[in-house]
Amino acid sequence: MSSLSLAAGPDICESKQRNPFGNSNLCAVDLLGVISSISCSSIRFTAIRKEFAGDSFVVGGRFGLCAKPGVRFKNYKVYGLDGIDRSVSTIDSVKKTETVQIGDSVTLEANMTLNNPVPKVLELQGKNAGRKSGRNIWSRLQRMQKASQHKVSRIVSGRNCSSFEDKISDGDLEAVISGIHPDSSVEHCNWVLKVLEKRSEEKTVEFFEWMNCHGKLKENTDAYCLALRALARKEDWSRAMMLLQEMTSDECELNAQAFNSLIYVCAKRGLVGWGTKWFHMMLEQGIRPNVATIGMLMGLFQKKCSLSQAEFAFGRMRSLKLKCTTAYSAMIIIYTRLGLYNKSEEVISVMDKDEVLPDLENWLVRLNAYSQQGKIEEAETVLKSMLKAGISPNIVAYNTLITGYGKVANMKAAKHLFQALESVGLDPDETTYRSMIEGFGRTDNYKEALWYYDKLKNSGFQPNSSNFYTLINLQARHGDEKGAVQTLEDMRRAGCQYSSILSSLIQAYERIGMVEKVPHILEASFYENILLDPTSCSMLVMAYVKCSLLDDALRVLQDKSWEDCDFEENLYHLLICSCKEAGHFENAVKVYMQMPNSDIHQNLHITCSMIDIYSAMGRFTDAENLYLKLKGSGVTFDMVAYSIVVRMYIRAGSLENACVVLEMMEKEKDIVPDIYLFRDMLRTYQKCDMTQKLANVYYWILKSGIAWDEAMYNCVINCCGHALPVDELSRLYEEMIQNGHAANTITFNVMLDVYGKSGLHKKARKVFWMARNLGLADVISYNTMIAAHGKSKDIKSMESVIQKMQSAGFPVSLEAYNSLLDAYGKDNRLEEFNDVLQKMKELKCVSDHYTYNIMINIYGRKGWIEEVSRVFAELKEHGLEPDLYSYNTLIKAYGIAGMVEEAVNVVQEMRRKGIKPDRITYTNLITTLQRNENFLEAVKWSLWMRQMECQVEFCPSLT
């Protein structure tokens, strides 16, 4: 046989197997109708007469296109088509080309391009001119083209299209697209769209838009669904939403299939948010979901364990009377995974109530739900029901039940079930053996666990990490160090990393408190490999230090075979901090002493940690030496370093040095103290009585913007009580109470003292009332309130507070008596004054300096020098030496009595006893001299006072 070989590309039509539409009887003219709408007026074929085996074939002339069925023509190509001017193209003899026979029809080899949607021009050009064709066959081609289009539409809608869609090549796809034009049928366009949807989202959307422009989408729901699926894969949700709205305008039915196209992609990619949104939109549009909708959604919610969304979809499914077995299984799995076993059992009951027949998956999830919570009887019932329902025995079901037996430590039943596998025609798989190992591990049956472990390996299966962990723990508890070495080797062969193997070993022996056995086990296995790995070394060293095996830890650090200075420094720092937190300060020092010497580069963090450790040990000299060495190295201190050094000096009681360090830190503009360093600064400055520094730190704290906690409020109030204005302190206290922070006893007492000395008795009473109600008022609280009332000479309130003090179980203190004495004396209520003194003698309440000073002051005001002298003598009899206040009061009393010489002698006595006179001393003496008209002496003492830098303005009467 012979065939006519036309100049067409092999991607158009090659053989019966590569025919795009599976039609083996398609002639050349038919294919022209299918593939392209050729932009030519007519086609002419001009050929020379050839003789082939006694038969003839004529192209052109009067005969048109004809051939005998039994004749095969080749070695000819069509090179050209004539245009409007009917110029003649030729057929030339060409080299032999490979042709493929398609039955008795002809094979085309032509280069054609798209007319729609991507236009191309079909050009067949000849090399040599021939005779003019005697006949125009264009009208015949048009008639045959219509017939071919009808044939193609029928083929596209045939049964074998779906299999061809997956086999079509890219070249064939391009050729198929070339055959699409505005007159193509909707079925043909849909077929092309379906092929594109499986290849490219971009081309699918582009072709869909072309269909829209040419009116191919009206009542075409399938096309919309394909476009929606492509947009979903692109996650172009806004365009997908617009497409749903366009469906209604094109008179398409908005059905579950359209939304399923979107939900399908969400389910595949785990997009819970968008899947839920499409489902809700579907319901809002009044579209009834189908079983596929529910199945995809429930699978998505199960994958992401989205309980609330799953419950909503499940409830809507039941309300719509849909029966989706997958949905019931998904709900059971979600509830079981979350430990809501009662809920999972409710779903099982609901499924039976809804008369939904379980499938294999549902039987398995039921079995797992009961096994996970240890309800073995129910699980056994499920297995029996499953077999009774005609489900063939399944190894997964038996493995699940074996796991359930292991959870309740019923390994006798698990072993019996394992032995029964053969009778039901099942062979144990790796999960079976693994479950048996885990079950016997829970019951601490090392012998049985080891037997199944060996059986697992001999069966060609690989133990998992849980099996290794179980076995190594059993070997640790049962003292099988040789078995532990073998298990470690199995882990190494299984590809486990050394750090993971080491972690399992250390945890196993830490649990039984026998980490000291780990070095011997490692020596017999892979100790040398551990020395090559920094991570493994650090794990091992940390475990040794934690269990006080310091010598073993230091040996590992000496034997290590890796070099990483930064990692090594961090490891040493971690070891030192671990020893510090455990209170093993001596071990921390040993670790520090073994560190490689680095005089050039001082590690700030390690050195600061050691300063803190030395301070805790009371070795302040060593701590200070480290600080000075670090300071001399030129390392820049950070906030933590300053904080540690300050705390070191506070512990050592060297507050002056602490203030020097703080002064250095304050010069560093980039350092902002944290809340703990701020507290240390406040306490240090308070102890040093540096009120201006306290105020500066307080305003620095406000400027830093740190969050205030309860401790910070109390610390600031306690330390800055006398450094801040009373209004600011009051505001801070009110803010603390409003923020719900509790004041401590010291805070209450500070506020009582500040309010009392400022005359704010109403606020003081409020604070005192709160302290009493909270049970935080102590003796100092009562004394402070008594002193506040005494200062304002509110004796009635003083007596009331004293009664409350006694009612609260506190005895009347010396401070309370002193306040009463001072109040009575200044109010000239000497009878009550003497009564208090008498009561103090009866109660054997020993007087202090303040008591005697009050008495001297009161008697001196009255000019009772004899009483003053008696009190002074009594003060010395009780072993008390007069203090500065006593001498000042005595000078004042002598002045009132006109005893100038005695007043001057008191100043001289003060000097002999080493008590330095203060401004009050000189003021009282000058006043005494002025009062007794000794103005010259008063001027002399005034000049002396100025010479002694006592900045007291001289009395105007002297000038």
How many whole angstroms separate alpha carbon 823 and alpha carbon 830? Answer: 10
Q: pTM of this prediction?
A: 0.59
Tokens for 602, please give them: 């001082």
pLDDT at residue 858, as a whole number: 85
In a domain, 933, yes or no: yes
How many whole angstroms separate alpha carbon 586 and alpha carbon 579? Answer: 8
In a domain, 707, yes or no: no
554 to 540, 558, 592, 608, 773: CA distances (angstroms): 11, 6, 11, 22, 58
- Nearest C-alpha neighbor of 604 from the set 565, 636, 575, 644: 636
How many whole angstroms separate alpha carbon 223 and alpha carbon 371? Answer: 48
752 with 803, same domain: the answer is yes
Res. 199: pLDDT tops 50: yes
Structural domain including 928 reads: 846-958
**Rounded average pLDDT over 183-204:** 87
Res. 857: pLDDT tops 90: no
Of 794, 812, 839, the domain-final residue: 839
832 with 908, same domain: the answer is no
Q: Rounded to a whole number, what is the distance in angstroms from the first to the last CA of the chain?
A: 151
193 to 206, 603, 763: CA distances (angstroms): 10, 69, 85
pLDDT at residue 115, as a whole number: 38
If pLDDT is split at 50, 70 and 90, which confidence band does 160 have? very low
**Rounded average pLDDT over 332-358:** 94
If pLDDT is split at 50, 70 and 90, which confidence band does 181 have? confident
Give bridge partners of residue 93 from the DSSP assignment.
Answer: 76
**Rounded average pLDDT over 350-365:** 93
Q: Look at 251 and 627; give whichever has higher pLDDT.
A: 627
Res. 806: pLDDT tops 60: yes
Rounded to the nearest 10 degrees, the angle between the axes of helix 814-826 and helix 849-862 is 10
38 CA to centre of own chain: 64
**Rounded average pLDDT over 391-416:** 93
Contact 835, 825 (CB under 8 A): no
Contact 648, 621 (CB under 8 A): no
Tokens for 665, please give them: 């830190």
If pLDDT is split at 50, 70 and 90, which confidence band does 416 have? very high
Contact 709, 675 (CB under 8 A): yes
Phi first, then psi, for residue 799 (nearest 5°) are -65, -35
How many whole angstroms separate alpha carbon 852 and alpha carbon 841? Answer: 14
Rounded to the nearest 10 degrees, the angle between the axes of helix 691-704 and helix 710-720 is 150
In a domain, 337, yes or no: no
pLDDT at residue 168, as a whole number: 62
Res. 596: pLDDT tops 50: yes
Of 824, 839, 854, the domain-final residue: 839
Q: Look at 879 and 769; give whichever has higher pLDDT.
A: 769
CATH number of the domain that residue 815 is part of: 1.25.40
**Per-position DSSP letters for 68-86, written without gaps between them:** -TT----SEEE-----TT-
If pLDDT is split at 50, 70 and 90, which confidence band does 512 have? very high
In a domain, 605, yes or no: no
How many whole angstroms separate alpha carbon 435 and alpha carbon 396? Answer: 11
Least confident range from 86-90, 287-291, 648-652: namely 86-90
Q: Are strands 5-6 and 107-108 parallel, antiparallel or unpaired?
A: parallel
Contact 209, 187 (CB under 8 A): no
**Rounded average pLDDT over 8-20:** 37
863 with 889, same domain: the answer is yes
Rounded to the nearest 10 degrees, the angle between the axes of helix 830-842 and helix 849-862 is 150
**Rounded average pLDDT over 675-691:** 93
pLDDT at residue 849, as a whole number: 81
Kind and range of the H or E run holding 103: none
Q: Are strands 76-78 and 91-93 parallel, antiparallel or unpaired?
A: antiparallel
Give the dihedral of Cα atoms 785, 787, 788, 792; nearest 10 deg.
Answer: 140
- Nearest C-alpha neighbor of 336 from the set 349, 347, 352, 324: 347
368-396 per-position pLDDT tens digit: 999 999 899 999 999 999 999 999 999 99
Q: What's the number of domains the chain is made of?
A: 2
**Per-position DSSP letters for 794-829, written without gaps between them:** -HHHHHHHHHHHHHTTPPPPHHHHHHHHHHHHHTT-
**Rounded average pLDDT over 461-471:** 94
Of 785, 815, 839, the domain-final residue: 839
Res. 664: pLDDT tops 50: yes
823 with 902, same domain: the answer is no
In a domain, 867, yes or no: yes
Radius of gyration of the chain (CA): 52
pLDDT at residue 931, as a whole number: 77
pLDDT at residue 600, as a whole number: 56
**Rounded average pLDDT over 155-161:** 44
CATH number of the domain that residue 949 is part of: 1.25.40.10
pLDDT at residue 878, as a whole number: 79
Res. 143: pLDDT tops 90: no
Mean pLDDT, rounded, of the chain: 80
Q: Look at 914 and 716; give whichever has higher pLDDT.
A: 716
Res. 760: pLDDT tops 80: yes
Q: What percent of the chain has pLDDT over 90?
A: 48
68-99 per-position pLDDT tens digit: 444 444 444 443 443 334 333 333 333 333 33
882 to 817, 851, 926: CA distances (angstroms): 20, 12, 21
Cα angle vertex 332, ends 328, 337, to 5°?
Answer: 150
If pLDDT is split at 50, 70 and 90, which confidence band does 919 have? confident
pLDDT at residue 78, as a whole number: 43
SS (H, E, C) 727-739: HHHHHHHHHHHHC
- Nearest C-alpha neighbor of 20 from the set 81, 80, 104, 108: 108
Tokens for 734, please give them: 């009110």
Residues 685-698 as b/e (b if ≥16 CB within 10 A, e otherwise) read bbeeebeebbbebb
787 with 809, same domain: the answer is yes
pLDDT at residue 955, as a whole number: 42
In a domain, 758, yes or no: yes
805 with 893, same domain: the answer is no
Give bridge partners of residue 56 from the DSSP assignment.
Answer: 51
How many whole angstroms separate alpha carbon 588 and alpha carbon 609? Answer: 10
User: Cβ of 940: how many Cβ atoms within 10 Å?
Assistant: 13
875 with 792, same domain: the answer is no
Q: Which residues lie below 8 Å from residue 436, measured CB to CB, with a gap of 6+?
A: 402, 406, 411, 414, 415, 418, 448, 449, 452
If pLDDT is split at 50, 70 and 90, which confidence band does 397 have? very high
Q: What percent of the chain has pLDDT over 70?
A: 80
**Rounded average pLDDT over 511-531:** 90
748 with 835, same domain: the answer is yes
Kind and range of the H or E run holding 6: strand 5-6
In a domain, 665, yes or no: no
526-579 per-position pLDDT tens digit: 889 999 999 999 999 999 998 889 899 999 998 889 988 889 899 999 999 999
825 with 864, same domain: the answer is no
Res. 901: pLDDT tops 60: yes
pLDDT at residue 166, as a whole number: 53
If pLDDT is split at 50, 70 and 90, which confidence band does 255 have? confident
Q: Dmax of the chain from CA atoms?
A: 169
Tokens for 737, please give them: 């109470």
851 with 952, same domain: the answer is yes
865 with 791, same domain: the answer is no
Cβ burial, residue 705 (10 Å; 0-12/13-18/19+):
exposed
- Nearest C-alpha neighbor of 901 from the set 944, 955, 937: 937
In a domain, 414, yes or no: no
- How long, in residues, is the chain? 959
803 with 899, same domain: the answer is no
- Nearest C-alpha neighbor of 883 from the set 928, 921, 845: 921
Question: Looking up tokens 């012998």, which residue turns up?
Answer: 447
**Rounded average pLDDT over 933-942:** 76
Q: Which one-letter amino acid corresponds to residue 413?
A: A
- Nearest C-alpha neighbor of 299 from the set 268, 323, 257: 268
Res. 477: pLDDT tops 70: yes
